Amino acid sequence: MKAIKMNNADNYESINITLSRENTPIAYQNKLDELMDCKAFDTQAEAEAWLNETPIELELYYENGYGLFGVEAEAVENTEIKSPYSGAPILDEDEIDQFNDDDQPQYSNDYIKSALNDDLLKSILEISNNNQEIPEYKIEEIRNIIFRSITGKNIQE
């Protein structure tokens, strides 16, 4: 898993949304409950008035291979944020370099190839194929698929 780079104050994209009981009833109620729980307003009427008139800014992020998502801009600097898709953390530039260098196991292509040995692949394929004999070309095909999913390259490269 690779960390996602946090936007910086000078370079980010966002959208503003205004929640409403009619168009976004679930999000509206959840935000209203949050405002009341944290005592942001003295009365529910005040909280509703604010919520009806105040757009919420969402910073946009994109996780390659998964998709687009938004995070409330106020939360970005104050909270540990993770991708809703993969759980990858959103980190600032200094943290992301360290995370991607230190926290990810580094395996050589030769090590990965050796881990994908014939006996392992045959066992996996035979289990999924009701213990029927698996042709050699299928084993090579599966080995390449797994290798490519790990490294992003074909074994031959």
HEC sequence for the chain: CCCEECCECCECCEEEECCCCCCCHHHHHHHHHHHHHCCCCCCHHHHHHHHHHCCEEEEEEEECCCEEEEEEHHHHCCCCCECCCCCCEEECHHHHHHHHHHCCCCCCHHHHHHHCCHHHHHHHHHHHCCCCCCCHHHHHHHHHHHHHHHHCCCCCC
Domain of residue 114, residue span? 109-151
- Does a structural domain hold residue 157? no
The overall longest dimension of the chain from CA atoms, in Å, is 72
Residue among 14, 8, 33 at smallest CA distance from 94? 8
Number of separate domains in the chain: 2
pLDDT over 80 at 22, yes or no: yes
- Does a structural domain hold residue 28? yes
Distance CA 117, CA 51 (A): 59
Do residues 132 and 88 share a domain? no
Do residues 121 and 146 share a domain? yes
Tell me: the pLDDT tens digits for 43-97? 999 999 999 999 999 999 998 888 999 999 888 878 888 899 888 888 887 787 6
Do residues 79 and 139 share a domain? no
- Please, which residues bridge with residue 62 across strands? 68
pLDDT over 50 at 103, yes or no: no
Do residues 94 and 17 share a domain? yes
Do residues 55 and 121 share a domain? no
Do residues 56 and 130 share a domain? no
Give the residue-averaged pLDDT of 91-107: 65
Q: Report the chain's mean pLDDT, rounded to a whole number.
A: 82
Do residues 97 and 144 share a domain? no
Residue that the structure tokens 């998964």 belong to:
66
Do residues 50 and 98 share a domain? yes
Do residues 53 and 93 share a domain? yes
